[in-house]
Amino acid sequence: MTSTPSPEPAKRQGPLSGLRVLDIATVVAAPSAAALLADYGAEVLKIELPGAGDGCRNFPPFKDGKPLWWKVTNRNKKLISLDLRKPQGMALFKQLLPRFDVLIENFRPGTLDRWGLDRDTLWALQPRLVILRATAFGQTGPYRDRAGFTRIFEAMGGLTYITGEADGEPMHAGYPIGDSIGGLFGALGVMTALWKRARDPQAPGEEIDLSLTEAMLKLMEFLPIKQALLGESHGRSGNTSQYSAPTGVYPTRDGQWVSLSGSTDALFAANCRAIGREDLIGDPRYAGNRERCARTVELNALYRQWFAEHDLADVLERFERHEGTLAPIYSARQIVEDAQVKARGFLRDVPDRDFGTVPIQDVVPRFHHDPGAVYSSGGAVGEHNDEIYGEWLGLTPEDRAALRTQGVI
């Protein structure tokens, strides 16, 4: 195993220690927000429907029938099962809620209201509750009731249109990056609301309306301003950057791949030295980034030819020696074997009920005085039912058995 042992649960720490988060969301984006908070010490309790649980449990990859993605996205969480649609389930939920600072949900707008959990009811139970509502398009607008999945966020948020070859079809990435971006904005929104609470002990609760499509568009930075002021829709350019040259993805002689970048004059000079073409540095045709961008095709062709004549090890040695801006394009195997990843201990051996331990990425970013930790992988449906319903709410074993029989937990 290439990863670093994770701290024992008894050693949990982090700047969010003492914060309690109730995660009733499903699949990836909103649960990712909860997991990020858990990384920094928040106590996260996830609620799933009894039986099959969260739909994320059916997402590949699998090993021995066990979902691996689930184990990462729901790390560091306690898991209980509860059917909020049943009166007894709703009663138990209302007993739990006052113990929490944050509620995270991603049902379609109005769903919780129809179940009798509108925001006024939630705030009556916990007046300082921060409510994160993550949906495809937000709580308002003509699309508010539409279902949402990551490819919708990416397609309508602008990312897919600009990804792919210039003369090819728009492309999605091989990973649902829209969900991950939504999770980051969700965690940021929660922490922003909590900062206000920390400053003002009398501050009321907050409701956060997170549109996952808007989160995607937010990262597109200059797309709207380019359209508005230049009348141009930013298009596709494959692996060739439209704002820096030379840039691209190139094969080496031994069949490996590298990615080249470098927009400043100093970096361009370093890259030229790496391939033995110092003569390009003083050439007025390449004097600045604007001039180089106008000659992208010829510069990329020059670098492509050079990479095709050299093996990866030679390429990396030359660029490191001359401080050029180039990186090998890693597969997952190369990532876990990389010296930097190992030296930083970024992959942690996390305890797992199915496989003993599993490697999971450590916390990002790292704090010096009060770091967070990843201490458990996502577990089984209702794994902590006895602890939460027994120790927290005082239900007897007989009570719990009856609720299980009735499908409430």
Q: Give the per-residue pLDDT at 263.
A: 87
Is 49's pLDDT higher than 60? yes
**Per-residue pLDDT tens for 181-196?**
999 999 999 999 999 9
Q: Cβ neighbours of residue 389 under 8 Å, at least 6 residues apart?
A: 80, 92, 395, 399, 400, 403, 409
**Per-residue pLDDT tens for 260-289?**
998 899 999 999 999 999 999 999 999 999
CA distance 197 to 128: 8
CA distance 2 to 343: 11
Residue 90: count of CB within 10 angstroms of its CB: 17
Which class does domain 4-220+343-405 fall in? Answer: alpha beta
Q: Are the C-beta atoms of residues 131 and 206 closer than 8 Å to each other?
A: yes
Q: Give the per-residue pLDDT at 2.
A: 44
Assigned token pair, 230: 């230049």
DSSP output for 358-409: EEEE--SS--SSS----------TTTTHIIIIIIIT---HHHHHHHHHTT--
Strands (E), 106-188: 130-135
Chain position carrying tokens 């030295």: 273
Q: Are the C-beta atoms of residues 1 and 352 closer than 8 Å to each other?
A: no
Assigned token pair, 220: 């597109």
CA distance 197 to 194: 5
CA distances (Å), 336 to each of 1, 259, 292, 343, in order?
A: 9, 19, 36, 11
Topology annotation, domain 248-336: formyl-coa transferase, domain 3 (3.30.1540)
Chain centre to alpha carbon of residue 406: 36
Q: What is the mean pLDDT of the chain?
A: 95
Residue 52: count of CB within 10 angstroms of its CB: 11
For the chain, the C-alpha Rg in angstroms (whole number) is 25
CA distance 98 to 93: 9
338 classed as catalytic: no
Q: Give the per-residue pLDDT at 63.
A: 97
User: What is the average pLDDT across 284-312?
Assistant: 96
Among 241, 220, 217, which Cα is nearest to 166's?
241
Among 54, 179, 352, 362, the active-site one is 179
Q: Are the C-beta atoms of residues 150 and 30 closer than 8 Å to each other?
A: no
Q: Are the C-beta atoms of residues 21 and 102 closer than 8 Å to each other?
A: yes
> Which part of the chain is CATH 3.40.50.10540?
4-220+343-405
DSSP output for 180-202: HHHHHHHHHHHHHHHHHHHH-TT
> Which part of the chain is CATH 3.30.1540.10?
248-336
**Per-residue pLDDT tens for 334-368?**
999 999 999 999 999 999 999 999 999 999 999 99
**Per-residue pLDDT tens for 2-40?**
455 555 455 568 999 999 999 999 999 999 999 999 999
Cis check: omega of the bond before 365, within 30 degrees of 0 = yes
Angle at 39 between CA 332 and CA 73, to 5 degrees: 50
